């Protein structure tokens, strides 16, 4: 795969994540009133329309600091610049790295879009077991987590081309 074809594929992944994220958030905002929910898998999963003014998993959501939204936007922009640079330089054959970075970039752009437009992010996916529940999240958050997971797997299990196996003589 050439550099340009790889970049085109990675850009397509970014665009698909952003479009799906925008579409799902729009559907939820239009069809589920705020704080209402729809049971999908009883005892495990439901759609719950919430709006998060904090960072991932509602971190800092309770903060009333006037600089919070600006700081979260700045952090997102810096992360996007770093991920873009890494993705642009990803010219080796590590497909998992490119896909992971693309998913992170698409998710970051989806959440940044919400934060710039309204100062909050629409979340709607709720996974729970009995009284234990994961914080409500969205498709962009999922893309970021899956992308980060791919990068971790790549780091932990990929042998660099400069390493050679040592064999007993």
Question: Which two three-digit tokens encode residue 142?
Answer: 């999922």
Annotated catalytic residue, options 21, 62, 114, 123:
123
Q: Indicate whether 16 pLDDT > 90.
A: yes
pLDDT (mean) for 78-102: 84
E strand or H helix that includes residue 79: helix 68-89
* pLDDT at residue 87, as a whole number: 81
Active-site residue flag, 141: yes
DSSP letter assigned to residue 49: E
Collapse the DSSP code of 39 into the 3-class scheme (helix H, G, I; strand E, B; otherwise coil) and give the result: strand
Exposed e or buried b per residue across 128-163, where buried means at least 16 C-beta atoms within 10 angstroms of its C-beta: eeeeeeebbbbbbbebbebbeebbeebeeeeeeeee
Over residues 112-126, the pLDDT tens digits come to 999 999 988 999 999
Residue 91, pLDDT > 70, answer no
Q: What is the pLDDT of residues 31-82, one digit of tens each?
A: 999 999 999 999 999 999 999 876 655 555 555 666 666 777 888 899 899 9
Is the pLDDT at 156 greater than 80, yes or no? Answer: yes
Sorted by where each begins, the domain ranges of the chain are 3-157
Q: Which of 117-121, 149-153, 162-166 bottoms out in mean pLDDT, i.e. has the lowest? A: 162-166
Three-class secondary structure of residue 123 per DSSP: strand
User: Of residues 21, 62, 114, 141, which has the active-site annotation?
Assistant: 141
This prediction has a pTM of: 0.83
Location of structure tokens 């729970």: 128
Determine contact, residues 57/137, Cβ cutoff 8 Å.
yes
Q: Which of 112, 101, 103 is nearest to 72 (CA)?
A: 112
- Order of all β-strands in the sheet with 45-52: 37-41, 45-52, 121-129, 132-133
Q: Please indicate whether residue 142 or residue 154 has the higher confidence score (pLDDT).
A: 142
Percent with pLDDT over 70 in the chain: 82
Q: How far is CA 109 from CA 75, 121, 157, in A?
A: 12, 11, 28
Question: What's the chain's average pLDDT?
Answer: 85
């Amino acid at each position: 795969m050439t550099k340009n074809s790889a970049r085109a594929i990675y850009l397509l992944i970014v665009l698909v994540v952003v479009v799906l994220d925008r579409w799902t958030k729009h559907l939820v905002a239009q069809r589920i009133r705020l704080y209402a929910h729809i049971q999908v898998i009883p005892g495990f999963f439901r759609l719950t329309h919430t709006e998060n003014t904090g960072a991932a998993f509602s971190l800092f959501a309770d903060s009333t600091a006037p600089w919070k939204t600006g700081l979260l936007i700045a952090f997102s922009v810096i992360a996007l610049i770093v991920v873009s640079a890494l993705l642009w330089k990803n010219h080796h054959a590590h497909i998992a790295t490119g896909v992971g970075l693309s998913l992170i970039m698409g998710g970051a752009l989806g959440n940044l879009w919400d934060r710039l437009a309204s100062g909050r992010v629409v979340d709607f996916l709720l996974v729970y077991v009995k009284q234990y529940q994961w914080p409500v999240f969205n498709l962009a958050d999922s893309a970021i987590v899956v992308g980060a997971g791919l990068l971790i797997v790549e780091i932990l299990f990929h042998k660099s081309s400069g390493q050679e196996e040592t064999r007993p003589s």
